């Protein structure tokens, strides 16, 4: 019985660790079961995240925040609206202004009042933004608030954000959790003169400059990126990895309960499918294939490309994807048969836009480090390359690709 209890304890801790890695802000209001699990194992999680990844974990009464450091550029994941469209700069601006207003807001606030505070903050910052100005502004503002609602920063008490987005006269009262609002930004920005300086500060890897921290940097990249290719590493880190890869993988396996694929080209962690990837915030750069039609289409496409473009024996480098081949395969995904299977809207006479499908599928494959595009060409389909990790998804060119695999 003791052995079974030990296994159950390990599984709980690793599940909590994966939950935090995928979504660094877990709240009791939005994810009560996950937060209870994190809170129950908080001491172990605090110690292990600090030792293995150099991350700081803060566990409060109603939320937990994993404060990550380093490798910023490799793991940036855009926020998206409920429609799936990526946030525009205007939506991000409203998100920042809303947070600035919410950190000192009372426990309950009228949405019209919050909109007025946001307008005042925008004027102070020299921005021409006003949620009440027109419908497009109101939609961008409510998109930002929906992201904060999913994180437990605000909650709808009376009325709804959707109703306000449709009608600016719709009355809404929000519950505000200011303590959680203060945790949304892990590293509050400092005032700087130039935008480039601000971005460089955000992207700085606190472990990269110290040769003794090569192991810490590599473990972060293994945990946070879909595939770690050896050729992408600086020479000192590549040498260290060649001698200590099993130790790095073992440390992460103990923390996250994951397996690893170690090949000549690089290393990939394979995480259990357990629902810990919530998506849409700041988790790993990609969980592949992920839910929904885009993930299914991407899985099918990469299987076909890997089968059609098998590299020469012994080759470790990327393989160019001819634009006409990529175009044909994407078009095949949207033919009458596949559209009904992978894009349910096609069954009711509303076929998806081919350009939008291509952009989303290729973006997912790029985030998963299965393809890249170092030299973009004149069209959307020019300049793509098939990366070595795509070989694991190789199938016959006409295979349906309905199986699932996780990254």
> Taking the domains of the chain in order of start, what are their residue ranges?
2-70, 89-184, 292-393
Give the pLDDT confidence score for residue 404 in this predicted structure. Answer: 41
Closest among 34, 39, 41 to 10, alpha carbons compared: 41
Which tokens go with 367? Answer: 């985030």
- Tens of pLDDT along 245-274? 999 999 999 999 999 988 888 998 888 876
- Tens of pLDDT along 324-369? 999 999 888 877 445 555 555 544 455 567 777 888 889 889 988 8
Q: CATH fold of 89-184, please?
A: Arc Repressor Mutant, subunit A (1.10.10)
Cα–Cα dist 45/54, whole Å: 12
Peptide bond into 289 cis (omega under 30): yes
DSSP labels, 295-345: HHHHHHHHHHHHHHTPPPTT--S-EE--HHHHHHHHHHHTSHHHHHHH-GG
Task: Say yes or no to pLDDT of 399 above 60.
Answer: no
The stretch 222-246 carries a mean pLDDT of 89
Look over the chain and give the mean of its residue pLDDT values, rounded to a whole number.
82
Q: Report the DSSP pairing between strands 319-320 and 259-262.
A: unpaired
Measured on CA atoms in the order 268, 274, 280, 281, is the torsion positive or negative? negative
The torsion angles phi and psi of 332, rounded to 5 degrees, stand at -65, -30
By the 8 A CB rule, do 238 and 91 touch?
no
Which run of H or E residues covers position 169?
none
Measured on CA atoms in the order 30, 9, 268, 54, is the torsion positive or negative? positive
By the 8 A CB rule, do 217 and 237 touch?
yes
Give the pLDDT confidence score for residue 39 in this predicted structure. Answer: 96
> Phi/psi zone of residue 110: left (φ > 0), alpha (ψ -120 to 50 degrees), beta?
beta
Report CA 108 to chain centroid distance, whole Å.
30
Residue ranges in 71-110 assigned as alpha helix (H): 72-75, 89-102
- Tens of pLDDT along 160-203? 888 888 888 889 899 999 999 999 888 777 777 777 777 777 66
- Tens of pLDDT along 25-72? 999 988 899 999 999 999 999 999 999 999 999 999 999 999 988 765
Does pTM top 0.85 for this prediction? no
Closest among 290, 310, 14, 28 to 153, alpha carbons compared: 28
In CATH, the number for domain 292-393 is 1.10.10
pLDDT band at 394 (very low <50, low <70, confident <90, very high): confident
Q: Which has more confidence, 90 or 5? A: 90
Confirm whether 89-184 and 292-393 share one CATH topology. yes
């Amino acid at each position: 019985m003791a052995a079974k209890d030990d296994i159950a304890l390990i599984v709980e801790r690793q599940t909590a660790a994966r939950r935090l890695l995928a979504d660094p802000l877990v709240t009791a209001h939005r994810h009560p079961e996950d937060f209870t699990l994190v809170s129950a194992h908080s001491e172990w999680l605090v110690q292990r995240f600090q030792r293995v990844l150099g991350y700081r974990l803060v566990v409060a009464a109603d939320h937990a925040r994993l404060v990550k450091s380093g490798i910023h550029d490799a793991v940036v994941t855009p926020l998206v609206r409920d429609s799936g469209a990526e946030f525009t700069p205007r939506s991000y601006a409203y998100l920042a202004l809303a947070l600035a207003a919410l950190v000192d807001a009372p426990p309950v606030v009228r949405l019209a009042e919050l909109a007025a505070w946001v307008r005042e903050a925008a004027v102070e910052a020299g921005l021409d933004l006003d949620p009440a100005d027109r419908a497009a502004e109101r939609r961008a503002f409510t998109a930002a608030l929906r992201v904060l609602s999913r994180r437990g920063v605000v909650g709808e008490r009376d009325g709804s954000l959707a109703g306000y987005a449709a009608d600016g006269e719709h009355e809404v009262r929000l519950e505000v959790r200011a303590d959680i609002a203060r945790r949304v930004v892990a590293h509050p920005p400092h005032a700087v003169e130039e935008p480039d300086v601000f971005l460089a500060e955000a992207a700085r890897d606190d472990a990269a400059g110290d040769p003794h921290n090569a192991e810490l940097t590599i473990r972060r990249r293994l945990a946070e990126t879909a595939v770690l290719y050896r050729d992408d590493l600086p020479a000192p880190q590549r040498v260290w990895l060649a001698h200590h890869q099993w130790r790095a993988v073992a440390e992460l396996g103990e923390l996250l309960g994951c397996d690893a694929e170690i090949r000549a080209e690089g290393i990939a962690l394979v995480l259990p499918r357990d629902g810990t990837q919530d998506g849409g915030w700041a988790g790993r750069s990609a969980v592949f294939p992920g839910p929904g039609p885009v993930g299914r289409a991407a899985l099918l496409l990469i299987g076909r490309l890997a089968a059609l473009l098998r590299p020469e024996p012994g080759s470790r480098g990327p393989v160019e994807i001819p634009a006409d081949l990529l175009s044909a395969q994407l078009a095949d995904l949207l033919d009458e048969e596949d559209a009904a299977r992978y894009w349910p809207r096609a069954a009711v006479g509303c076929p998806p836009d081919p350009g939008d499908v291509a952009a989303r599928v290729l973006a997912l494959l790029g985030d998963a480090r299965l393809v890249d595009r170092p030299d973009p060409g004149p069209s959307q389909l020019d300049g793509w390359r098939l990366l070595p990790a795509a070989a694991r998804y190789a199938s016959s060119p006409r295979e349906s690709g309905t199986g699932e695999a996780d990254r």
